[in-house]
Amino acid sequence: MWKGLIEEYKEFLPVTENTPALTLNEGNTPLIHLVNLSKELGIELYGKIEGANPTGSFKDRGMVFAVAKAIEDGAKCVICASTGNTSAAASAYAARAGIQSIVVIPKGKVALGKLAQACMYGAKIIEIDGNFDDALAIVRQVSETTPVKLVNSVNPYRIEGQKTAAFEIVDSLGQAPEYLCIPVGNAGNISAYWKGFKEYNEAKNTGLPKMYGFEAEGAAAIVKGEPITNPETVATAIRIGNPASWKLAEAARDESEGIIDSVTDDEILAAYQLIARSEGIFVEPGSAASLAGVIKSVNNGKITKGSHVVTVFTGNGLKDPDTAMSVSKVDLVSLKNDEEEIRQYIEGIL
Ligand code: F0G
């Protein structure tokens, strides 16, 4: 039986005898060969389905370890800023561990499912008239002067936990893919994957991918080379104008001979619908930025035809029902509770 990340990967993590055995059985997520899109794009494309984690996003990988280490340090309360997924994961693992969580979020800019999670897991939720970058600046300050442990990805244990996704990809494929495509928001995850690929390569000689990161165009600080004061994108998960791990993400890009590029909201929403319709995989808009980036890179020649590409789907589509319904042109057909009427309708569309 899968025992969760801390137990499964303890030889690669700074685990001590005092680290609690915290887990919600996170990790071990599917790597799915995207057969239809592979054919369409002329590459071998795989999707890492991080929405299959316990709270529906990759954040569980980092959070299980950050919360475990916080408890090891004696913390009774964790705090984070979030566009939604970090807050869901922090509050879930805090609940599991029996400690308090406090989350600070941008008012009106967190997808409904994520907010529902923080409510259900029992977080104290503070919403501010400001964006993620403002919230992060505040919680960084507060955590320095109060006995609350910061669990944003500036906490190095978050990166340690998140690097395990790279291990799983290599174990599934037998070696690293040629390209690893990933959305970029606060830039922690691209940094974590690169660390994971490098450590596994050192231990097992499994090769290294080129790291391809994709920001949303309205929040593309790294691409533009300067912070964005008012980031805007339909992909609220990555609506971030001043990524905390900016330097680490640039290092991942440069060391791997990769790129960090941007994709437009139109490209994100097209990829969001394409992955659901063509492969039966429902991801949230922020996650679709990576597939939008794959498509852009195949079209402009930055991904070579025939190559092996892994795209990371960071969060589950169920988290953001509002965006799903607003892009869906499906009209619900309301019929009588009557077999004949329903049969006639079905015969009409066949
Ligand atoms: N995809 C999703 C679904 C996310 O929630 C995030 C970040 C990212 C991608 C980007 O990852 O920040 O490591 O570059 N969400 C954070 C949050 C900011 O608060 O949930 P990153």
For 160, the domain range is 5-53+156-327
Residue 329 pLDDT grade (very low, low, confident, very high; cuts 50, 70, 90): confident
Gap from CA of 257 to ligand 1 centroid (Å): 23
> Do strands 259-263 and 149-150 pair parallel, antiparallel, or not at all (unpaired)?
unpaired
* CATH number for the domain that contains residue 234: 3.40.50.1100
Residue 331 pLDDT grade (very low, low, confident, very high; cuts 50, 70, 90): confident
Atom of ligand 1 nearest to the CA of 249: 14
User: Do 195 and 307 share a domain, yes or no?
Assistant: yes
Residue 192 resides in a domain: yes
Q: Which of 120, 150, 180 is the last residue of a domain?
A: 150
User: Do 44 and 166 share a domain, yes or no?
Assistant: yes
Read off the pLDDT of each residue in 291-310 and give the average, rounded to a whole number.
98
Residue 340 resides in a domain: no
Torsion of CA 164, 94, 85, 12, to 10 degrees: -10
pTM, two decimal places: 0.97
Cβ(314) – ligand 1 distance below 6 Å: yes
Strand order through the sheet with 124-128: 124-128, 100-106, 77-81, 149-150
- pLDDT tens digits along 83-96: 999 999 999 999 99
User: Do 46 and 167 share a domain, yes or no?
Assistant: yes
Using an 8 Å Cβ cutoff, are 160 and 90 in contact?
Answer: no
CA–CA gap between residue 310 and residue 322 (Å, rounded): 28
pLDDT tops 80 at residue 330: no
Residue that the structure tokens 């950050």 belong to: 66
Q: Which of 150, 165, 199 is the last residue of a domain?
A: 150
Gap from CA of 151 to ligand 1 centroid (Å): 13
Read off the pLDDT of each residue in 153-167 and give the average, rounded to a whole number.
98
Cβ(131) – ligand 1 distance below 6 Å: no
**Number of domains the chain contains:** 2
User: Do 228 and 119 share a domain, yes or no?
Assistant: no
